[in-house]
Amino acid sequence: MHKKSKKIILASASERRREILSLTGLEFLVKESGIEEEMHAGMPPRRLARLLSRQKAAAVAAKEKDAIIIAADTFIIINGRYLGKAHNQTEARAMLKALSGRPHLVITGYTVMDSSNGRRISGSSETKVYFRRLGEDEMDSYVKTGEPVGKAGAYAIQGLGAALVRKIEGDFFNVVGLPLSALLMTLKKFGIRPL
């Protein structure tokens, strides 16, 4: 364990990220960053994901002077197009139609930052997800559950959305929103070893 129990803060309102981080046994607080994700056109996906996570970490670090901040940002890329969160059922339906029968990349950028000295490490993780070909009724039914709204790419792989996925290549937790293995390796560099 780390020497001085510096508080750990997850800079995210995401239930999924909270659940994943809880698996480590670490005690942590949750503080939303309040940062609105902006997709910077022309920026390579992994770099954009790291930038967005750094912005979230910095926003929380500005208010918390002696903490380890963990921040992440997840989005999807299909045919060079960025898909963020579906804000409503119409957007969700359009995203599902775009993903139907095709592979896409889920990219999560993450940052761990020590707010006492500004030290930070950012990384990114990429998982390839293959969707089955979805019927119109199937997409409509899934959208009506309400699950796709607020999710990157309009699906939750850890929920009902699992039925839409044919296979994945890479880290499952990355698709949910926090690449656990990579994050734990980074936390070790800050003296935090939960396992």
Pairing of strands 165-169, 120-131: antiparallel
Report, in this order, helix, strand and coil percent for the chain, each rounded to 5. 35, 30, 40
Give the integer Cα–Cα distance in Å for 63 and 67: 10
Non-local (6+) Cβ contacts of 89 within 8 A are 143, 144, 148, 149
Encoding tokens for residue 18? 């909270």
Indicate the DSSP class of residue 61.
H
Indicate the DSSP class of residue 50.
H
Q: Which residues are catalytic?
A: 73
With beta carbons less than 8 A apart as the criterion, state whether 108 and 141 touch: no
With beta carbons less than 8 A apart as the criterion, state whether 113 and 64 touch: no
